[in-house]
């Protein structure tokens, strides 16, 4: 797959952490694989480097270390760097955007503006682009977080929407570009085997976990004003939930897929503020040990207020009020400084209604599907089989689809796929405004209640979070999947 035509990819925040770790390495991988049209250009925009030579020096020093595990092909790297141009730009100087417009005049094809900046700069950048006519026939990519709550999210969307149409706006959520998420769609809608089972009659519960071993690192000031609910649940986890629970779209075009995701988000059972303590657990990590190394408490991290009540852990019980999922609990969990780095979706199927083979055939979780997103990307189906030997003794076995073993060609990273989709004008894997609004509306009662209530529950770094998160599942006769793979 190659990009459809020539393009100009303008990267605001060209010296930022996201550009260094994700965006530029993803563009390099697409270039090395021959997926970028030959005439395509990358124009980095920043205010730190003086000229193209100094910017390319920064690229060579900082970006190379973040490219694929297979290392750098020096010939491909040299031709990739040839694509890169640089514009020194101060957002407060209108004449600098005139300079940007002039720099882009000789570039033909699709024009993409990627805003790898803080959300406070989204609207000023869009207005500045419009002031020099650069919004016309262009595409703009917005990174999360898009707002602090429903009101601020709507304010940003309203302002950007006055300058760019909805078809021009690409709200990126990199989890939607991950290979196992794509394979979840293939698994459900490309096979007759699973779709009849993908409903309340056969599914007992579903878990979605995004766990991190890292703390807030150098982002203490940002994170203390955000928290796990805004940072992870409102976007990543609810997007994954909508992919898992959606009805089959009539095709894979952008609006067909996003219409079905929206129906799931609008069907989420509203949470009564009086019930939040029963279905939502928030925690904050204290000092502990991660892989043999002592780590500090959240409250002592740089940039964090000592008396902070910001949550670093969230566990939720979610219900979907529709015909397919009525009565099936969805358990969402995310946190920092947990026992392992893992992102996965666990579909627990119901036990057989009667067992002639003993009690082991009736145990919870005997049949489950585990879709692992990180660190290793696999889909694993667990079932029961007879152990060798005398008697009918059952044991858990699994069928394993390990993508790196089954498919010999290298997997495409999430950002690589999504950037190619932007350049090619494919919107299906990007979040539409009405999806975003529905997600904010659902989380707002929790945000409001937590803002008015006491402190989050403590948990030691290196554990799986507060005990209350496990107790919530125990009430439903199940537990979090916390096994090593």
**Catalytic choice (66, 236, 286, 354):** 236
Radius of gyration over alpha carbons of the chain, in Å? 24
Q: How far apart are CA 431 and CA 228, in angstroms?
A: 19
Please list, residue by residue across 271-300, b when 16 or more beta carbons sit within 10 angstroms of its beta carbon and e when fewer do.
beeeebeebbbbbbbbebebeeeebbbbbe
Examine residue 8 and say whether the peptide bond preceding it is cis (omega within 30 degrees of 0). no
**Closest to 243 in 3D by CA, of 256, 261, 263, 258:** 261
The CA–CA distances, whole Å, from 222 to 57, 101, 197 equal 29, 32, 42
Burial classification of residue 360, based on how many CB atoms lie within 10 Å of its CB (0-12 exposed, 13-18 middle, 19 or more buried): middle
The CA–CA distances, whole Å, from 38 to 35, 204, 286, 406 equal 9, 51, 52, 31
Strand pairing class (330-335; 203-211): parallel
Residue 358 zone, left/alpha/beta (φ > 0; ψ -120 to 50; rest): left
Q: How far apart are CA 10 and CA 43, in angstroms?
A: 5
CB 480 within 8 A of CB 469: yes
The residues that bridge with 205 in the sheet, in sequence order, are 348
Q: How far apart are CA 309 and CA 229, in angstroms?
A: 13
Is 107 designated active site? no
The CA–CA distances, whole Å, from 343 to 71, 74, 340, 370 equal 25, 33, 10, 10
- Name the residues annotated as catalytic: 236
């Amino acid at each position: 797959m190659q990009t459809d035509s020539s393009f100009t990819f303008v990267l605001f925040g060209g010296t930022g952490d996201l550009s260094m770790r994700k965006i530029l390495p993803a563009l390099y991988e697409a270039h090395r694989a021959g997926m970028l049209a030959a005439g395509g250009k990358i124009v980095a925009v920043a205010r730190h480097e003086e000229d193209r030579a100094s910017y390319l020096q920064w690229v060579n020093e900082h970006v190379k270390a973040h490219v694929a595990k297979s290392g750098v092909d020096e010939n491909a790297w040299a031709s990739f760097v040839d694509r890169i141009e640089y514009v020194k730009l101060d957002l407060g100087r209108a004449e600098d955007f005139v300079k940007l417009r002039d720099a882009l005049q000789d570039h033909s094809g699709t024009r993409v503006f990627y805003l790898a900046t803080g959300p406070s700069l989204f609207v000023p950048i869009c207005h500045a682009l419009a002031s020099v006519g650069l919004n016309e026939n262009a595409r703009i990519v917005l990174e999360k977080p898009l707002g602090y709550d429903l009101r601020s999210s709507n304010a940003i969307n309203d302002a950007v929407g006055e300058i760019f149409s909805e078809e021009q706006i690409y709200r990126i959520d990199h989890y939607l570009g991950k290979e196992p998420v794509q394979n979840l769609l293939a698994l459900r809608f490309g096979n007759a085997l699973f779709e009849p089972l993908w409903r309340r009659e056969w599914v007992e519960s579903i878990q979605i976990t995004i766990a991190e071993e890292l703390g807030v690192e150098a982002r203490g000031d940002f994170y203390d004003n955000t928290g796990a609910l805004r940072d992870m649940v409102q976007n990543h986890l609810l997007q994954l939930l909508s992919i898992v629970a959606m009805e089959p779209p009539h095709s894979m075009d952008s609006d067909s897929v996003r219409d079905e995701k929206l129906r799931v988000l609008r069907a989420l059972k509203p949470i009564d503020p009086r019930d939040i303590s029963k279905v939502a657990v928030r925690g904050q990590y204290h000092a502990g040990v991660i892989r043999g190394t002592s780590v500090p408490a959240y409250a002592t991290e740089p940039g964090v207020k000592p008396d902070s009540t910001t949550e670093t852990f969230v566990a939720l019980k979610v219900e979907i009020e529709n015909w397919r999922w009525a009565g099936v609990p969805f358990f969402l969990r995310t946190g920092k400084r947990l026992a392992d780095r893992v992102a996965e979706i666990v579909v627990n199927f119901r036990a057989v209604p009667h067992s002639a083979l003993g009690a082991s055939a009736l145990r919870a979780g005997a049949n489950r599907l585990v879709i692992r997103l990180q660190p290793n990307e696999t889909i694993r189906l667990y079932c029961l089989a007879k152990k060798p030997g005398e008697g009918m003794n059952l044991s858990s076995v699994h069928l394993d689809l390990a993508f790196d073993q089954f498919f010999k060609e290298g997997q495409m990273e999430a950002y690589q796929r999504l950037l190619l989709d932007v350049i090619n004008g494919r919107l299906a894997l990007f979040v539409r405004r009405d999806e975003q609004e529905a997600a904010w509306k659902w989380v707002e009662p929790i945000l409001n209640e937590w803002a008015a209530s006491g402190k989050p529950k403590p948990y030691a770094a290196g554990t799986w979070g507060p005990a209350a998160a496990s107790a919530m599942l125990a009430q439903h006769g199940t537990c979090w999947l916390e096994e090593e793979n």
